[in-house]
Amino acid sequence: MGEEPLVRWDWIGRNWPEILELAADNLVMALVPVAVALLAALPLGLAGARWRWFYQPTVGVVNVVYSLPSLAVFIVLIPVTGLATRTTVMVPLVFYAMAVLIPAVVDGLASVPDHVRQSAVAMGFTPLRRLLGVELPIAVPVVLAGLRVATVSSISLVSVGALVGRGGLGYLFIDGWQRQFPTPIIAGIVLVVLLAGLADLLLVLAQRWLTPWSAARVAARAQARPAAGERKGAA
């Protein structure tokens, strides 16, 4: 009798439709909270950047929620949102993402040089136009860096929800553990990593599309270095 293989490809082939359904469920429960958190973090971060007295209490509240174990929060929400529902999993993920995104928005706005703001004022920009046309575009790289962290974390944390009946790919972990069958566990881990990597790649591409001047600046620096080396060699 041969040794049991680590991965049973025949099992993956038979259960592939169900695995894809779990992956899609995992993705929805991860990305919706991040989108909601971003919509909430933008005005809260803007207010925090304008009024520092508002920033510290806001971040303090979301950080308290962020410090709570996700499983404990899921269990506390069950009487309100129900067992094995998407809402039970997604509500805590919104606050976890906000704990990352609010500081990212504040730091992004703080990275805008003062002389750039003063130039916009001198050109007659209204506060709203300055925000939308100058400050937010410059803050995009910092905000997207926080968004990448929040998205990858959310995709991973969804699997914990399997312990309360709705966790996307986390179901594969529980199924494999209960049956002492490693194939579902390995399949779940690989898919979580692939989903997180794909989401991160898409956000990187979005950043390049939204901030073309950054890519042009990097290219200009790369071209300037060989030129400087040639002048030094000639000297």
Any domain includes 167: yes
Any domain includes 3: no
Task: Report the length, in residues, of the chain.
Answer: 235
Any domain includes 2: no
Any domain includes 226: yes
- What pLDDT is attached to residue 128? 82
The total of structural domains in the chain comes to 1
Q: Which whole number is the average pLDDT over 148-154?
A: 94
CA distances from 72 to 75, 104, 160, 177 (A): 5, 26, 10, 21
d(CA 208, CA 221): 17
User: How far apart are the two ends of the chain, measured CA to CA in Å?
Assistant: 75
- What pLDDT is attached to residue 230? 52
Query: Average pLDDT of the chain?
Result: 85
Is the pLDDT score of 215 beyond 70? no
d(CA 149, CA 200): 8
Any domain includes 1: no
User: What residues make up the domain containing 222?
Assistant: 9-234
Q: For 4-23, how does the pLDDT look when each residue is reduced to its tens digit (9 = 90+)?
A: 677 888 888 999 999 999 99
- What pLDDT is attached to residue 58? 87
Is the pLDDT score of 1 beyond 60? no
Q: Which whole number is the average pLDDT over 202-212?
A: 87
Q: What is the CATH number of the domain that holds 130?
A: 1.10.3720.10
Any domain includes 76: yes
- What pLDDT is attached to residue 167? 85
Closest CA to 137 of 102, 99, 111: 111
Any domain includes 204: yes
Alpha helices in 127-169 (DSSP H): 127-130, 136-157
d(CA 114, CA 159): 44
CA angle (141 as vertex; 135, 146 as ends), nearest 5: 110
